[in-house]
Every structure is written in C-alpha cells, then in structure tokens.
Amino acid sequence: MIARRYLISGRVQGVGFRYFVKKRADLYGISGWVRNLPDGRVEVFAQGEEAALEELEKDLWRGPSLARVEKVEKFEVQPERGLNWFEIRLY
C-alpha cells in the first residue's frame, strides 16, 4: 500500500469536486479524505494500491463536468494506519 497527497488548483470549489473524488475513490477501493482549502484549492489524501492511485490521479486531472483543473501537485507520503474508508472533510 502506498499513500499520496494531491493539491488540485483551478476552478475546483463549488463544482462538486469533493463528491466526484469520493465517488471515484470508493470505486477504486482507496481510503483517505478530500477537503477544500481556504486558498481555493482542493486537497486529497489517498492510500491504496499504486494502480488504483494512478487511476484516481487521471480522474483528478479531469474532475467533474463543471470543474476546470489547471494543476495537480503530487506528493508521496506515509500511509495512515486504521484509515479504512474515504471521507469528505470540512476544512
């Protein structure tokens, strides 16, 4: 299992981006969380199999239909123990 943190920039708040990410993460069996940041970006922490995270990353670049993704930054991080689901967090 690996873990990654993503920072997504563009028109990604107020367009259903967090719900889109949760649905895709659930589909791929990824655990973690997604939240809006005060600066207008969306932050995602995701852990799971590498192939699943690669698929999620493709979806992050696409986003829901009303989003306009300009940048996806990716960081390798340590997995969190005991995190067995994917949730939408408030700030």
Bridge partners, 39 (sequence order): none
Which DSSP string corresponds to 2-22?
EEEEEEEEEE-SSSSHHHHHH
Mind telling me the catalytic residues?
A: 18, 36
d(CA 7, CA 49): 19
